[in-house]
Homo-oligomer: A and B are copies of this chain.
């Protein structure tokens, strides 16, 4: 096996498509957002990317236990109101520094081959506490890209996120920018402790405003409600019955 192998499943003609990346990361915000696009719109699988950098792993699906080798996938989404989308999803990031660079280069090559010149890397930024208002932070490959995003509701805070942006999202800005992609990273604020559908929705709402499409959030809202129930139960368990442990000393 080569280090990276690409299955060319289909090669439709796209009209000035936009790369949307949603690989796993903080709060699975990017992954949830990208997968929601694929659920809500008609999409077509166009590329599978296998890599020796990914874990040596298959997922097992369906009644018959059919195994699928770990890969990243590109789907195209053709939307009437907006530009075509080239959506990158998957279950894994690379396993090494070098692997992140190699894979992102390959992802950008593929986007290039479909004629994409713009890219949005979707992700989450951890706040360390439960989030009430879902702000979306931005970073861009070139200063002139910031204003349009600001209009779409994105906040730019000097030197945030403090530790920079790591992984494929970071490199879509860094390597992408060096190759001439107009790249932006949209980072939904999220606690960092939980899968966060609400943060994914906030990120998608920016994309909606920026790219001109409309999308339904019912299924994401359902998942958000489920998560809130989970959080509620955890809080109940932690708070426990009336008398806290510390008081036992006084009645013991």
Contact = CB atoms under 8 A, between A and B. Distances in A.
A171 B102 contact: no
A69 B146 contact: no
A145 B105 CA distance: 37
A52 B139 contact: no
Interface stretch (A55-63, A200-208, A234-242): A55-63
Contact of A55 (B62, B97, B137, B185): B97
Interface string A52-85: 1111111111111111111000000000000000
Interface in A21-49: none
Contact of A67 (B95, B100, B185): B185
B98 A58 contact: no
Nearest to A150: B64
Nearest to A166: B57
Contacts of A63: 146, 156, 158
A132 to B, nearest CB: 23
Given A65-B139, A142-B66, A54 B97 contact: yes
B97 A174 contact: no
Contacts of A68: 174
A139 B160 CA distance: 39
A180 to B, nearest CB: 14
A165 to B, nearest CB: 5
A101 B185 CA distance: 32
Contacts of A168: 56
A3 B56 contact: no
Q: Most chain-B Cβ atoms within 10 A of its Cβ — which of A65, A102, A140, A166?
A: A65
Nearest to A141: B67
Contact of A53 (B55, B97, B165): B97
B62 A170 contact: no
23 contacts: A1-B101, A56-B94, A56-B168, A57-B164, A57-B165, A57-B170, A58-B139, A58-B170, A58-B174, A59-B164, A60-B161, A61-B158, A62-B158, A64-B140, A64-B146, A65-B138, A65-B156, A66-B139, A67-B140, A67-B141, A67-B185, A69-B177, A70-B174
